[in-house]
Amino acid sequence: MTTTPPTIVDGPRSDLDVYADPALLDPWPGYRELRDAGPLVFLERYGMWAATRYDAVSHVLRTPEVFPSGEGVMMNDEMNKVLRGNTLCSDGAAHDASRRVIVKPLTPKALRPLHEQIRAEARALVDRLATRGSFDAATELAQHLPVTIVSDLVGLPEEGRERMLVWASEMFNCFGPMNDRMRDSFPVLGEMMEYATTQAVPGRLKPGSWAEAVHDAAARGEVDPGKCPVMMIDYMGPSLDTTIFAIGSAVWLFAQHPDQWDLVREDPSLVPSAINEVLRMEAPIQDFSRSVAVDHEIDGVRLRQGERVIAFYGAGNRDERHYPDPDRFDVRRNPTDHLGFGAGPHACVGMNLARLEMRAVFEALAETVSRFEVTHSERALHNILRGFTRLDVTVHRTRGR
């Protein structure tokens, strides 16, 4: 189904370009403007609705019978066609079947044997970097665990793994509108699909790996074998960039708010709460969209079948109607209901692994580092993801460490 541009708009309108470079670098004023305008606001530049208040975003994500994912969660029809059938872009029984396969190695129980390995790797990494004193937290710190550990668990062929970070980033760029970023990224997505179809196949995958388990499930009839390539993307993309950007954003926040880092150092049991607050403040994925399956109304705003709604996670996470003083970074807040991992049946399948990696990194940092100082930073200009491509920091070691 192709998204139908509304001929009648029953609700507030805005000509704000939320995907312009200045808005991507600093989205918060625009998000507030849209939240103040109404629960849903029609974005005239894109012919779609924006849900920016927490309750509206949560409703869209948690009501799949009205806002299904099977027609795609991207803003352009080309990308929705490419990824149709993967876990992210499916509903009902088909979604449940593929999600069961994808999530099996990502449950808390399945991840338990990895805890000590990930903690040990994080401690060794932090010790090396802290000894140096200065490093790029966006690449040398944030990328290490996802690239060295997760890529091995996924089990893709060695040839091509070095492209995984590029593929993941460019794939998410394609989720946005048909702008230059999307058009520049689309050929790279084709390269990723070619790899998933011709290289990530039985006989070339690491034995016992997550990717091999997908093909094994297809052989048992649990999922359609034809969907294996797009299911590979469930591991190749979200397992990398989202965690990497979240770790980088956490370092940046702690550098800006040293008093909050002091609280974590004094009481490391605050690390899980701090992670939730980081994901609320700086959601690595800022938005996905949904089609409208049936006429529907949200707080007086009428939606019609065939329209499309963009659910802005980042805006909902800063909604003052839901979170008191939402722009304040508070590691004691523990916002367990944040939208940083999405919500509803399509909540992030890798959230348990992301939490495990982040917890290992920041527990190790809390033991070793007393203060962060950012000396240079560069934010990603990206349609969907928010984070840093470069984050040069100087760290001060805790005495005696």
The DSSP-derived string for 287-354 is EEEEE--S-EEETTEEE-TT-EEEEEHHHHTT-TTTSSSTTS--TT---TT-SBTB-GGGS-TTHHHH
The three-point CA angle 367-372-374 to 5° equals: 155
Span 205-224, pLDDT tens digits: 999 999 999 999 999 999 99
d(CA 339, CA 286): 9
What is the pTM for the complete model shown? 0.95
- Per-residue CA distances from 312 to 28, 178, 287 (Å): 11, 18, 4
Percent of the chain with pLDDT over 90: 80
Strand partners, 300: none
Span 375-391, pLDDT tens digits: 999 999 999 999 999 99
How are beta strands 308-312 and 48-51 bridged, if at all?
parallel
- Is pLDDT above 90 for 81? no
Whether the CB-CB separation of 73 and 290 falls below 8 Å is answered with yes
Q: Which two tokens stand for residue 152?
A: 């091995």
Strand partners, 298: 301
Task: Of 197, 199, 191, 150, give the one whose Cα is nearest residue 174.
Answer: 191
How are beta strands 296-298 and 301-303 bridged, if at all?
antiparallel
Whether the CB-CB separation of 290 and 346 falls below 8 Å is answered with no
The pLDDT-based confidence of 229 (bands split at 50, 70, 90) is confident
Q: Which two tokens stand for residue 29?
A: 């004023």
d(CA 339, CA 336): 9
- Is pLDDT above 50 for 342? yes
Mean pLDDT for the stretch of residues 351-361: 96
Task: Report residue 81: phi and psi, to 5°.
Answer: -70, -40
d(CA 71, CA 76): 11
Domains and CATH numbers, the chain: 13-397 (1.10.630.10)
Q: Which two tokens stand for residue 302?
A: 């009428």
Q: Give pLDDT, residue 7.
A: 53
d(CA 173, CA 292): 23
Q: Give pLDDT, residue 9.
A: 75
